[in-house]
Each structure stands twice: as C-alpha cells, then as structure tokens.
C-alpha cells in the first residue's frame, strides 16, 4: 500500500527519484500513465495487471469505455528503475502533467501519483474546503 507525500525534483534528463519507501513494492519497473486531474499514475506491474483486466471487461460498444481505455493505455509506459531508484519520465507524460522541475509524489493506496507542485497545492487547497462534504457523500461506502 502506498501512502504519504514526498517532494522531489525532476532532473534535466526527465528523471525522478522514487521514494525509497515506495521502491520496496516494485521489482524492476513501474508502469506510468496519464492520470486523472492532470497528474501521472504509477503502478507496480501486479496492480497494473489487475487494472488492465478490469478495463478489458468494459464494453467495446460504449463510446465512453473506448475513450477511457484509449486515453489510459495510449499514455502507458514501462519505466525501469535505475540503480539510484530513478525512473525516466517520457516527454509526452511530462507535458500532460505540466511537470518541469519540482514535483510531489503521492501514495494513493494501490498506486502513486506524480503532480506538478503548484497544481498539487491548488488541488489540496480546493479539496480542503470541501473535504467534509466529500466525506458526507461517501457514507454509502461505510467510511
């Protein structure tokens, strides 16, 4: 399980260090793809496989299902971890998430997310204002 928030820097070659606490859950590679809210989603291969199987059950006849799977899979990249615990983020994904130098890596249960620092700060400020409303809307999930 991934949890916590870590501030990191992306170097001039597009490499970012994955927090040591998170690297324990990866063999040698991380699957990186476009996430929701203009961040990147990072999955260990075992979690990616579970998600892939779920997405493959979506009906091909549904326009939204086709659009989402295209969006999700077309951005996916297999990013190997180097000896220093870094991955090289593809340019396409860095542009999508507006990543330049400073970033935030967030643990979100079965995945990690990489955010542009200022977008993360804006997201947190906006979310904090409505956190109790969001929690109230989740009562059906017995939280």
Taking Cα atoms as reference points, which of 34, 135, 133 lies closest to residue 90? 34
C-alpha 97, offset from chain centre: 10
User: What is the reported pLDDT for 83?
Assistant: 93
User: What is the reported pLDDT for 112?
Assistant: 97
Domain that holds residue 108: 2-141
3-43 pLDDT per residue, tens:
999 999 999 999 999 999 998 777 789 999 999 999 999 99
In angstroms, the CA 75 to CA 92 distance is 8
- Average pLDDT score over the chain: 92
CATH number of the domain bearing residue 11: 3.40.1550.20
In angstroms, the CA 24 to CA 29 distance is 11
Structure tokens at 37: 């809210």
Question: Given a cut of 60, is residue 143 above it in pLDDT?
Answer: no
Taking Cα atoms as reference points, which of 109, 113, 43 lies closest to residue 76? 43
Structure tokens at 94: 């860095």
In angstroms, the CA 20 to CA 129 distance is 32
Q: Which helix (H) or strand (E) holds 49?
A: helix 45-56
| Environment class of 103 (CB within 10 Å of its CB; exposed 0-12, middle 13-18, buried 19+) | buried
Strands 77-80 and 29-34: antiparallel
Measured distance between the N- and C-terminal CA atoms of the chain, rounded to whole angstroms: 18
User: How many domains does the chain divide into?
Assistant: 1
**Span 108-124, mean pLDDT?**
96
């Amino acid at each position: 399980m991934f949890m916590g928030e870590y501030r990191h820097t992306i170097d001039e070659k597009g490499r970012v260090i994955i927090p040591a606490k998170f690297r324990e859950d990866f063999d040698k590679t991380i699957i990186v793809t476009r996430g929701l809210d203009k961040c990147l989603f990072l999955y260990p291969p075992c979690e990616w496989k579970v998600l892939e199987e779920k997405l493959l059950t979506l009906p091909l006849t549904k326009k939204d299902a086709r659009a989402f799977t295209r969006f999700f899979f077309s951005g996916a990249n297999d990013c190997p971890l180097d000896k220093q615990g870094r991955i090289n983020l593809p340019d396409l994904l860095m542009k999508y998430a507006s990543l330049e130098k400073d970033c935030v890596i967030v643990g979100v249960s079965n995945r990690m997310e990489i955010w542009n620092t200022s977008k993360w700060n804006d997201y947190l400020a906006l979310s904090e204002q409505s956190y109790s409303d969001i929690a109230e809307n989740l009562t059906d999930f017995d939280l």
